[in-house]
Structure 1
């Protein structure tokens, strides 16, 4: 099925937010292909900017350093026609999220805590920006509130394949295009 896709004006980008394992990178690539848009993975930009993996940043400098670098990278993004897959902690920076929302549709890929656990396995090896004493449950609850605060659209990813989530995202953006109010 061929879908013609353009973003509602004045939006130029789609920003994907959500927990690790929610499918931001995978769905981002699929959306970019379907919509003939570019693709930006901000975790890769952070690694390129710092010269270190996310886990090495967290291990060597702490989670706060990762969040600072992430904010710098996000605030310096000046792109159009892109699908932007953010790191799960992007929402900790109000400054970065306001910058992204200026010309982007922000989509929260919502999955349950159980699905996060299933998809990411040992989260201590994932370069996740969290306080050392923070459980995955606490992190999930804290971030969920932030994801819903910044999201323009929420896509339920629970029990959906990537293609099903992509179809839903394309449908929602097409609806926005026909009724931008």
Structure 2
């Protein structure tokens, strides 16, 4: 059973809001990696992006997330972390990745103005384009998917807790099967 939970998903799905409450309910520490990036760079995210561009920001985001040392924590990285291969490999090794899924319509309703929300869109890219681009990555990395369409925040939190319990229970059953051996870590 991996003791860390890592939340991924589009902006406005509640990675931080849900993450904080889930961390408290499970007696875990909460880590917001956007705050770690801002602390390291001593600038706001939008200032970093304005200074180094999207690619430069992704390099910083990859490095900060890849270097997160966490035990018994709930980690909320920024939505673009899924583009950071090293960071996602690290997260898959140290925890269970939970995809907070919401339909485009739900995201659009929550994000009225993407620029004010701090959503980085490339020249000519729409929020719908970004959504369509990211969903396959979220699905690729997710160990657990929790759909929050039509749910209040309290329901999403309960759904996450139930899904994590079920996932951990199934993981324990798998480990107890006769002939099963713990895989050796890759070097």
Residue 15 of structure 1, CA deviation: 0.2
Contact 1:57 1:63 in 2 (8 A): no
1:99-178 maps to which residues of 2 (within 5 A)?
Answer: 99-178=90-169
Q: 2:75 aligns with which of 44, 62, 84?
A: 84
Matched position secondary structure for 1:19: coil
1:2-21 maps to which residues of 2 (within 5 A)?
Answer: 9=1, 11-21=2-12
Q: 1:102 to 1:91 in 2, by over 3 A?
A: same
Residue 95 of structure 1, CA deviation: 1.2
Greater than 6 Å deviation, 4+ residue runs: none
Contact 2:37 2:61 in 1 (8 A): yes
Structure 1 or 2: more helix by fraction = 2
| TM-score in terms of structure 1 length | 0.90
Number of equivalent positions: 172
Structure 1's unaligned 5+ residue stretches are 1-8
Matched position secondary structure for 2:20: helix
Matched position secondary structure for 2:79: coil
Residue 59 of structure 1, CA deviation: 2.3
Contact 1:67 1:129 in 2 (8 A): no
Structure 2's unaligned 5+ residue stretches are 175-187
| TM-score in terms of structure 2 length | 0.87
Matched, 1:35 2:21: no
* Structure showing greater relative contact order (alpha-carbon pairs closer than 8 Å, 6 or more residues apart): 1
